[in-house]
A = this chain, B = another copy of it.
């Protein structure tokens, strides 16, 4: 395929996304997931069409019922007459990729609804990479006219939180008796959650878990304008999910009226820029290790413990990158 053909093709993908073509959107998501110059061109072409969706992060440990909750939320969002896109980030290997959640979700009720677009995304080689691809994937969905974009991640680790932070509103999902999760929350992960959900509310201890969260939140949100609501749901049978959706809407109003939305988006852009710069540095290093004798010499000094990694990294920046 000549470069001209490809250009035309990317142009038409971009145009068709804006028209609402789902196949073009699917293609674009694959392209931004792979990264590279085609991804960049798509992002550039569609940039003016972005920034209007509400981005909702849904995160929590494996087994708390995130997918079920997302499924129930989709129904609420559709009932409100809105188009919804879901990006499910898979807890897959840094090596092989994978598509677990996506497969599960795609089985569900919304497959036939043309105003619902569900996509699973494989984790990239490192934490930052996945978050970066997520930013661009959300841009594609925004350009496609999706009003709400749900970003679902698994786990309460650092990279999952980094991905969750690509959202405007983050829902942290727990289940009754998630002792370790609540420990983690107490120690600060809670600062990530704008809305808390104790799912599987039919299990014993649901209200106790909710009370523990509320107690922790009272300390940590003292003086802040937004008091994160804590919901008990049983998403399986659609119990309590409407209240969660109402909180999402309330949080959107809060973000807009308080000026927080602008601040959060600025912070997000700065984080994205920082990770992109880090990514360029990694790529340049890999290139140098393949091609530059000076870089290879440095690596050998490292292996022989003649040089420490910190000093080596500085040399890479000061000598090898500057050539």
Assess whether A95 is interfacial by the CB under 8 Å rule.
yes
Q: Is there a chain B Cβ closer than 8 Å to A108's Cβ?
A: no
B189/A308 in contact, CB under 8 A = no
Contact flag A47-B282 (CB < 8 Å), given A94-B158, A100-B187? no
* Chain B residues closer than 8 Å to A302, beta-carbon distance: 269, 273
A19 interface residue (CB < 8 Å to B):
no
Distance of A106 Cα from B126 Cα, bound (Å): 32
Grouping DSSP codes into helix (H, G, I), strand (E, B) and loop, the A interface class, with mixed when no group exceeds half, is: helix
CB-CB under 8 A from A95, the residues of chain B are 188, 191
A280 pairs with B61, CB closer than 8 A: no
Query: What is the minimal beta-carbon distance from A200 to any residue of chain B, in angstroms?
Result: 14
- A96 contacts partner chain B, Cβ-Cβ < 8 Å: yes
Does A155 make an interface contact (CB < 8 A)? yes
- Report A203 CB to chain B, min CB distance, Å: 15
Q: Within 8 Å of chain B (Cβ to Cβ): is A249?
A: no
Of residues 174 through 206 on chain A, the ones whose CB sits less than 8 Å from some CB of chain B are 178-181, 183-184, 186-192
A309 touches B269 (CB 8 A): yes
A-side interface residues, number (CB < 8 Å): 84
Assess whether B308 is in contact with A47, with CB atoms less than 8 Å apart. Answer: yes
Q: With A and B bound together, what is the CA distance between A310 and B213 in angstroms?
A: 39
Most buried by B among A269, A309, A311, A316: A309
**Which residues of the other chain, B, contact A275 by a CB distance below 8 angstroms?**
282
Bound CA span A188–B285, Å: 27
B158 near A40 (CB under 8 angstroms)? no
The answer to whether B184 and A100 have CB atoms under 8 Å apart is: yes
User: Is A154 an interface position by the 8 A CB rule?
Assistant: yes
Contact B280 A274 (CB under 8 A): no
A266 at the binding interface (Cβ < 8 Å): yes
Report whether B123 and A90 are in contact in the complex, using a CB–CB cutoff of 8 Å: no
**Which of A128, A272, A276, A285 has the largest number of chain B CB atoms within 10 A?**
A276
Q: Can you list 14 contacts pairing A with B, beta carbon distance less than 8 Å? A: A51-B305, A91-B157, A92-B188, A94-B162, A97-B188, A100-B183, A156-B157, A270-B299, A273-B299, A274-B285, A275-B282, A277-B282, A277-B285, A278-B281
